Copies of this chain bind each other. A is one copy, B any other.
Amino acid sequence: MKAEIICVGSELLLGQIVDTNATFLAEKLAELGIDLYYKSTVGDNLPRLIAVLKQAWKRADLLILSGGLGPTMDDLTREGIAMLLEEELVTDPVSQSRIEEYFRRRGAPMTENNLRQALRPASAIPLPNPLGTAPGLWVEKTGKILIALPGVPVEMKYLMEEEVLPRLQRAIPAKESACLLSKVLKVVGLGESAVEEEIMDLLTAQQNPTIAPLAKRGEVLLRITAKADRREKAESMIGKVEDEIRQRLAGYVFGSDQELEEVVGRILTEKGLTLGIAESCTGGLISHRITEVPGSSAYYAGGITAYSNTWKIRLLGVKEELIQEYGAVSPQVAAAMAEGLRKQYGVDLGLSSTGIAGPGGGTPQKPVGLVYLGLASSNGTITKEMKFLWNRSENKVAAAQAALTLLWQYLREL
């Protein structure tokens, strides 16, 4: 079964709202194992809407529309579907009384144009919408299915889950009710192309499961997707590929469907270690990420954003001469920050960052994007130099990610 999603609304073409509906619908279709080949967006314009509908009706078996079911004149989805199907628009009496009831319950006056929402193409079944005034529409014709849902996300989601998915599950031929399952392996410490080189033969040979690499700042995601007739089978197909990748990229795959800070938190808890963070260029971002994890207060004592040299000296015990000799952005100061934290505040691990986030403050010797990280533990202190080439905000994100990577790499080998 091949599906298409069509989103209707000029606001989407003006860039005024982010289209989260299409993402939700795509995810639901993937869970059902239905192939989605195209997503389209079209404005509140009848001829263009009809053109998009006709094309999709020709190349797909299932069309899901979102938007254009409101009460106003620019809501044209009902008209568009009627033209596509070459049917009349008729007033649905049940929808009409539901809409009237909705306004009675809210004690709000109903306006004439709300009755437009009771219209449906003759062969369409209305899907009742208790959260709003726009019923959804369900059409089955010539072996194809067309579904229209309101654009308001909460109403669209409700109708999709309560009305559409149960009907779709019944409508999909049993032999086709394939399960499309995905799992994301997360990699740090290797770039996208280096990851690809390690698993090139798997990528070349891939058919089912497929393997799709995706680069984020400081992370490579490997999405493994399997299609099978049963969930257990898809899981086992993914498992085999996952094992192979984990073996090839040992020391780089930190988890699946988890954030780095969660994995770090789990190891700290297991080992009974406490953590403190001394930040300069990352400005509190490492601490923010660590505290995104519920229960992090069990292992995270606290952090110091020592933005000024005075704070580095006074709160972290960094020697003034060290800053004068090597500069605040140096491996020496990164090490002293991490060690100072450990000594002065009794944490097992001290993690530090110092660097030049930009846009100002760079020199030819120490350009914007240069970052030193430090990690002090009972095994001594390690430092790491990183060079990032982005803007201030992205350099902070990358430096925080690199700091958590350094911490994970240390913890992993304990």
Contacts and interface: CB of A to CB of B under 8 A. Distances in A.
Interface in A192-232: 192-194, 196-197, 203-204, 212-215, 223, 225
A13 interface: yes
Contact of A39 (B13, B106, B394): B13
A305 B285 contact: no
Interface residues of A, number: 112
Contacts of A225: 14
A368 to B, nearest CB: 11
A74 interface: yes
A337 B258 CA distance: 33
A22 B23 contact: no
Given A16-B27, A20-B18, A389-B130, A305 B284 contact: yes
A356 to B, nearest CB: 11
Contacts of A296: 283, 307
A164 interface: no
A44 B106 contact: no
Interface in A1-52: 10-20, 22-30, 36-45, 48, 52
Given A196-B72, A212-B11, A315-B315, A43 B37 contact: yes
Nearest to A281: B291
A105 interface: yes
A369 to B, nearest CB: 9
Interface in A98-116: 102, 105-114
Interface in A276-323: 277, 279, 282-288, 290-292, 294-297, 300-308, 310-311, 314-315
A34 to B, nearest CB: 11
A109 B315 contact: no
A191 interface: yes
Contact of A308 (B55, B301, B389): B301
A393 B158 CA distance: 13
A284 B294 contact: no
A111 B72 contact: no
A343 interface: no
A70 interface: yes
A387 interface: yes
A107 B279 CA distance: 24
A410 interface: no
Interface in A317-371: 345, 357-360
Contact of A213 (B42, B72, B194): B72
Given A152-B215, A303-B305, A15 B28 contact: yes
B23 A19 contact: yes
Interface string A56-87: 00000000000000111110000000000000
B37 A39 contact: no
A70 B215 CA distance: 9
7 contacts: A12-B39, A19-B19, A19-B22, A37-B42, A74-B212, A284-B290, A294-B392
